[in-house]
Amino acid sequence: MGAYYPPETHVEPARKYTRPRRFFSITGIIIGLILGLAGGLYIAWEVMPVQEYDVEPWQLREEDKSRYIVAVALGYSYDGDLNRAVQRLLDLRLGSDPIQHVADVACQLTTTGYVNSTSGLHAVRSMMNFYQLQGRAGCADSLINTDGSAPTAVVQVALPTSTPTLVPPDTKTPTPPGAAPVVTPTPIPIPTTVAQGSFIVLVNTTCSSSESGLIQVNVYEINGSTGIPGQRIRVRWDGGDSIFYTGLIPERGPAYADFVMEEGVSYRIDMPGLSEPLQQPLAAVPCNDPTTGERAIITYRVIFRPAF
């Protein structure tokens, strides 16, 4: 018998419709990762950026550290508590000599336009008083008067009047011919800076579950937009009082300070020596947040600004 040869098996070429399908696509995964990463970064940076709370002083930016140092010096000028001031400087981690760092910051502020305002000049003088008492020195000592007096608000300038004095009638000793008329100077007061006078207070209210029960204070210069750090704010209630200062929460700006109220208590607020106490007490009463519907305590937003 002859050999048996099996029939040839016909093999179909692989086509895209007959190829085995995968459960995932490498290209799709890469594109999805890129889109997801881009979307996540956009949401994190633009839509819902991270809000930093309870930041430690040493974590502040350099310009915010300078504002913090100004507030520390102003606080020391009010209460004279050296231990508290030094501890606040140590919290900034300024190096081996934090008090000399205060002198360096005062020097830097003096060489800029910071001292052109009354509040800025007062702040730098407070810094000078602080570090000089601790035996330190800086360039501000030679650029600013160290007598501690307030800046002069009025300068006497002698300007000639336009009315000359008449020549007296002839006497036995006549006036020499060609004599010039006598000009009498008249002192004219010219203000150089606007003094920081009494502050007036503006109050409005809001109800927010995220800022429940706060007295939020902002103190501004006479222009209404420049914040003043280190300003002393006093809150009083039956049986107690509290002093706090602007500028100690740098992420909210140099003008800002706040106080947490206790529900059911009424408070009176003022700037000691600079404003009259608010006649209408700020009552910590409950409210409902119009956005979330949650129960909260009313929040007061208080603005102090110069009366002129």
What average pLDDT score do residues 73-80 get? 85
In a domain, 111, yes or no: yes
Q: For residue 297, name the pLDDT band (cuts at 50, 70, 90).
A: very high
Query: Structure pTM?
Result: 0.46
φ, ψ for residue 192, nearest 5 deg: -100, -35
Q: How far apart are CA 57 and CA 88, in angstroms?
A: 8
Instruction: Please give the structure tokens belonging to residue 96.
Output: 């081996």
Per-residue confidence (pLDDT) for residue 10, from 0 to 100: 57
Could you tell me whether strands 299-306 and 214-219 are parallel, antiparallel, or unpaired per DSSP bridges? parallel
In a domain, 285, yes or no: yes
In a domain, 44, yes or no: no
Assess contact for 175 and 219: CB atoms under 8 A: no
- Among 116, 143, 170, the domain boundary falls at 143
Amino acid in position 18:
T
Query: What percent of the chain stands above pLDDT 90?
Result: 16
What domain range includes position 260? 199-306
In a domain, 84, yes or no: yes
Could you tell me which residue, 26 or 262, shows the higher pLDDT?
262
Tell me, what CATH number does 229's domain have? 2.60.40
Could you tell me which residue, 218 or 149, shows the higher pLDDT?
218
Assess contact for 196 and 306: CB atoms under 8 A: yes
Q: How far apart are CA 38 and CA 88, in angstroms?
A: 41
75 three-class SS: helix
- Among 124, 143, 162, the domain boundary falls at 143
- Among 105, 121, 143, the domain boundary falls at 143
In a domain, 180, yes or no: no
Beta strands in 104-197 (DSSP E): 154-160, 185-191
φ, ψ for residue 288, nearest 5 deg: -115, 125
Q: How far apart are CA 97 and CA 89, in angstroms?
A: 10
**Number of domain units in the chain:** 2
Could you tell me which residue, 169 or 136, shows the higher pLDDT?
136
φ, ψ for residue 304, nearest 5 deg: -105, 135
**Which of 4-18, 42-56, 161-175 is most confident?**
42-56
In a domain, 191, yes or no: no
Q: How far apart are CA 115 and CA 105, in angstroms?
A: 13
Assess contact for 58 and 90: CB atoms under 8 A: no
CA 90 to chain centre: 21
Assess contact for 239 and 265: CB atoms under 8 A: no
In a domain, 160, yes or no: no
φ, ψ for residue 233, nearest 5 deg: -115, 135
Amino acid in position 68:
Y
Q: For residue 148, name the pLDDT band (cuts at 50, 70, 90).
A: very low
Largest interatomic CA distance in the chain: 176
Q: Say which residue the tokens 């020499």 belong to.
A: 176
Instruction: Please give the structure tokens belonging to residue 15.
Output: 């086509």
CA 237 to chain centre: 27
In a domain, 89, yes or no: yes
**Is 181 a residue whose pLDDT tops 70?**
no
Q: For residue 122, name the pLDDT band (cuts at 50, 70, 90).
A: confident
Same structural domain, 206 and 300: yes
Q: Which three-class secondary structure string do you get for 125-148?
A: HHHHHHHHHCCCCCCHHHHCCCCC
**Is 258 a residue whose pLDDT tops 90?**
yes
